[in-house]
Every structure is written in structure tokens, then in C-alpha cells.
Structure 1
Amino acid sequence: MTTPVPQHPHRIARRSDSAAPARNLLVYASVAVLSGWVLLGAAVALNLPMEVFLLAVNFLGLLLPAILLTWREGGGVAVRRLLRDAVRLPVHWWWLPVAGLGLPAVVWSFSAALGAAQPLTLAVLSGFAVQLLSSWLIINIWEETGWTGYFQRRAMVRWGTIGGSLLTALLFAAIHLPLAFAGGNVLVNIASLLIAGVGLRLLIAGVDGWTGGSLLTVGLLHASFNATPALIDPSHDWIRLAVTLVAGLAVALVLRRRRGEA
């Protein structure tokens, strides 16, 4: 297998997405958010098992419209390119362990310093590994094929890396909004969604480019964020959110300095 040529996020986007009509981005955002509100809202309101509804949103509200709109814009060639990105290895193999273990390791270390880390027993580590792999392979690769592979890349072309990522973060939080009403303080839950969205989307903006457009790696990063709570005390989940936000802002600063974006 030949090694993909390293690319920057803006070059990945312009490779196939520069002509994406703004109305297509609006259609994608509308379908995604509406599917989240209807399906996740129904699950919360009726106290139904969430997993089935999450899968429905993932494949019907995110992946399917991404494929259909990609086909509309570029035909079968563009769809195949998008799906290849979903299984594309990063330009350097070490991006996979960095994406999968970097965030959990930092969060666990800070939590340990505050006495809020779970002991790294076999049970804890195996639970983390199962959650990481299942979230990555079943959900996050395909979720990021929609969010990153279709929407965020095009949004970054139109509004810049930072602006496009922040818009994606807002929609990412919006699609999960019904989950804020599932328990706890609603305002705190909404704030958590926004913080997670901003941190993740800025991190992904960098990782997508630095790995040569590997949505496989982007999905693993997202899965690592989802699995990290298994390593810390639930009352200290703010550490995970804070680390993700700071890491995302650091990536944004690097990208801005490299390209001189406002």
C-alpha cells in the first residue's frame, strides 16, 4: 500500500468541496439536527433505549445525507473518495495510538493528580478498550464521515478553518440537545455539549489535515473522547471537557499561525 501524501485541512477541503453550494450545507445541517431532535427527543421523552435511536441518527441523519449530497455534487467518484477516507490509514502509523490514547492519558493524569482517577485495573482497562473499539467501529467512523468528511471540510472552505469548525461545533451540540434533558441540570448539560463540541471540532480540524484526510483516525479520536469517562470519577467529568477544550484551542492557534487566519 502506498503512503498518502500529507495534506493540510484546507487542501483536503479544496480537493473536492470548493464548489459545494451553500444550500447543500443548509440541507445537511437541517436534516442532521432535525433527526437528532425527533429521534433522540422521542427516546428521552418515552424513556426508550437510547442505543437504537443513536444508530438511527448516525446512519439516517448523518451518513446517508452525506452520501447523497456528495453524489449530487460529484457523482460516484466523489462518493468513493469519501468512503475511502473513512477507511484511510493516517500518513504516519503513530497517529492511531495518539488519537486513541492521547486524550484519555492526559485526562487520567490530571484526574489522578486530583484524586479522581479510576485505578488502572484489568477490569477498568478492558471496559475502556471495549467502549473505545465499539464506539469507533460502530458509530464514530461513520458519524465523522458525515460531520467531518462532508460538512466540516466544506464549512472550512467557506468560512475558514476556525469559523467552519465553530459552526460545525454549534450544529454538533444542537443535534445532541435532547440528551441535555435526560437528567441533571439542563443548563450545565447544554454548556457541556457546547464545550465538547468546540474542543472536538477544533481538534478534528487539525487531525483531519495532519493525517492526510483519515476519517478512520478522526473517528478514533472521537471514540476516545466518548470512552474516557470510564477512566475517571463521574463527578469530575469537567476535567475531560476542560482538557478537550484547551487541546482544541491549542490546535486552533497552531492552524491560525500557520495560515495567518483571522
Structure 2
Amino acid sequence: MTARTSAPVPAGPAAGPAAGPVRRWVARRPLTAFTAVVFGAGWPVMSVPALTAHGLLPGGALPVEPFVLATLLLVMLPAAVGVTAVLDGRAGVRALLARTVRWRFGAGWWAAVGLGLPAVTLAAGLVTGRVLVLDDAGAVLAGAVLSAVGALLLVNLWEETVWAGFLQTRLQQRSGPWRAALLTGVAFAGIHVPLQFTDGATAGSALAGVGVLLGAGVLVRALAGAVLTGTGGSVLAVAVLHASSNASNSEDELVDRLLSGGSPLVLALAATAVLTASLVAAQRRR
């Protein structure tokens, strides 16, 4: 495992005097512009399932997944690419997208992002009295790998192009890793707020869900920041980490099916903190 600095943001042509007023504003306030687009256009799309579930729009209960994917591919990703184009031109966009296939970052980092969270979460479960459930373990592992690869290619890679590749990288270079993790975690939790009002949610359950999202988001973004630094800014590495995080903390996913005793979310959050501390300590020693 080798430590590297995160990828520099290309210094491209900023909007000059001949550019329009919107382009000049984006060049002056890129993160404000990105946030305004993501929340201004993303929240209405993400809110449709909640509005139909509560009878405020026709259609009844709708699945949330199509609206999450639409927000990602039609709002968030274009916002990140568009702001990058204003700041850094085509070269900056190419550099951002090239990081989605940056795979040369050492076997140790591959093990950390792909296996670290599931392994540490399972260990935490065993330490706290859970029991391994090995019935059909081979089928469970095969299903988890297929699910993770599908999610990686369809969702996680593009989601992390936005969060890790664009927002967290720029915040990390501007404000340092911990502030970047905090601010990116807040944005990550914020875009998911409308989903907390689906499925008959009450104000109390929605508030609790937002709190969990916020805490988990900041923890995961701290780990993502360590991975960005250690892999030279690889978006692919953080996307693999995101997929392995979902396999560790979600119900009916890999760790949940291998451990007895209910949802592994608390165990996975503890594992995230442990793995983050371990990676940061290893980088500092080097």
C-alpha cells in the first residue's frame, strides 16, 4: 500500500470577460453553482415518490430507484461535468473522467477498498456476539459480487464522479481532508432527504433517518478522503469502496446475510471509523 497525494485539479481557462454572466458567476462560485443546480433540480425529482405516497401527486406509491437514478444521471453528473468544463475546459473534463478508470493504485489499496469494510464489519459482529451464518455461503458471496458489480457500473461509479471526483477533491484541496469530508457528507445526506418521507414516514422517523444519513455520510466521506489521498485521486477506488460499504451496512446484503442478529448498520459505521483511522495512520507513517 503506497500513499500518494490526491489528484490535482487541472488549472484550465476560467471564464474571461467575453463569457456570459452565468458562466462568469460559475467561474467565481463553482461550488455554490454546483450545489444550487443539484438541490434546485435534484430535490424536485427525488421528492416525487414521497409526494405520490402522501397523495400530493397522483400515481400512488412509486419505487424510488428510477428517481434516484434520474437525479444522478440527469442532474448531478451534468452539474459536476458542466462546472468542471467552465473551470478547466475540456482537459479538465477528460481528467475527471479518466479518474473513473484509474486502477493502478496497488494491491493493498484494492484489498482495503474492496474487502476492508465487509471484513472489519464481520469481525465487529463476531466480537459483539453475533454468529456467522454459513448456510449457502457460496451462493451468498456470488450474489453479493454480482450485485456489487452491477451497482458499481450503473450507480456508484457515476455517483462518486460527482462526490469524490468533483466535490470532495476540490474541497479537500481548498480546505483540507476533514472539512472536505464534513461538507461533502452534509451534501450527500442532504440530497437524500426527500427519500426519508416515503413509505408512510412520520416527521419523527424522517428526522431520525436524516440524522443517520448525516452521521453515516460524514463517516464514509472521511474514509473516502483517505482513499482519494492514498490512490492518487482514483474515483474508481472510491466507487468500489462505496459498493463494499453498501454490502456491509444494508439489510439483506452480504454482511447482513452472513451475520445473525439483525441489521449490521451500527457495526458497519464502527468498522468505517476503524478502517479510516487505520488508513490515515498508515499514510502518516509513510
Q: Give the TM-score range, shorter chain.
A: 0.7 to 0.9
Q: Assess if the C-alpha contact under 8 Å between 1:13 and 1:156 holds in 2.
A: no
Worse-superposed segment, 61-70 or 32-41:
32-41
For structure 1, the residue ranges without an aligned partner over 5 or more in a row are none
> C-alpha deviations, 1:17-44, integer Å up to 9, x for none?
9x89561101112222334422222123
Cross-structure match for 1:201: 221
Retained in 2: the 8 A contact 1:34–1:175? no
Write the deviation string for residues 66-90 of structure 1: whole angstroms up to 9, x where unpaired.
Answer: 1111111111111111111111113
**Normalised TM-score (structure 2):** 0.78
* Corresponding residue for residue 149 of structure 1: 165
Any residues of structure 2 matched to 1:43-192 within 5 Å, and which?
43-46=49-52, 47-113=61-127, 114-115=129-130, 118-119=133-134, 121-183=137-199, 185-192=205-212
- 8 Å contact from structure 1 (residues 100, 224) kept in 2: yes
Query: Secondary structure of 1:235's partner?
Result: coil
- 1:214 maps onto 2:252 in alignment: no
- Name the Cα RMSD after superposition: 2.7
Output the amino acid matched with 1:74. Answer: D
Report which of the two has the higher share of helix: 1
Of 25, 31, 52, which aligns to 1:25?
A: 31
Contact 1:132 1:223 in 2 (8 A): yes
Q: Larger deviation: 115-124 or 23-32?
A: 115-124
Which residue number corresponds to residue 41 of structure 1?
47
Q: Shift of residue 195 of structure 1?
A: 1.7
CA distance in 2, matches of 1:34, 1:118: 45
CA contact (8 A) 1:135 1:226 kept: no
Could you tell me how far 1:251 is from its partner in structure 2?
5.0
Moved more, 37-46 or 127-136: 37-46
Q: Which one has a bigger Cα radius of gyration?
A: 2
Q: Does the 8 Å contact 1:36/1:178 carry over to 2?
A: no
In structure 2, relative to structure 1, the CA distance for the partners of 1:118 and 1:42 (3 Å cut) is: farther
User: How far apart are the structure 1 equivalents of 2:108 and 2:87?
Assistant: 34
In the other structure, the counterpart of 1:8 is 5
Q: What is the number of equivalent residue pairs in this alignment? A: 251
Q: Distance in 2 between matches of 1:95 and 1:253?
A: 14
Check 1:56–1:118 CA distance in 2 against 1; reply closer, same or farther (3 A cut).
Answer: farther
Percent identity between the two aligned chains: 34
Q: Structure 2 CA distance, aligned partners of 1:41 and 1:245?
A: 31
Instruction: Tell me if structure 2 keeps the 8 A contact 1:198–1:248.
Output: no
Confirm or deny: 8 A CA contact 2:10 2:92 kept in the other structure: no
Alpha carbons 1:141, 1:215 under 8 Å: kept:
yes
User: 2:64, 2:195 within 8 Å by CA — same for their partners in 1?
Assistant: no
- The one-letter code matched in structure 2 to 1:61 is V
220-229 vs 240-249, which deviates more? 240-249
For normalisation by structure 1, the TM-score amounts to: 0.84
SS of the residue aligned with 2:29?
helix
Alignment check: 8 A CA contact 1:90 1:217 kept: no
Structure 2 CA distance for aligned equivalents of residues 27 and 199 of structure 1: 25
Alignment match of 1:226 (pick from 246, 264, 279) = 246
The range that moved more, 104-113 or 204-213, is 104-113
**Residues 27 and 86 of structure 2 are in contact (CA less than 8 Å); yes or no, is this contact kept in structure 1?**
no
Change (3 A) 1:22 1:136: farther
3-state SS of paired residue (1:97): helix
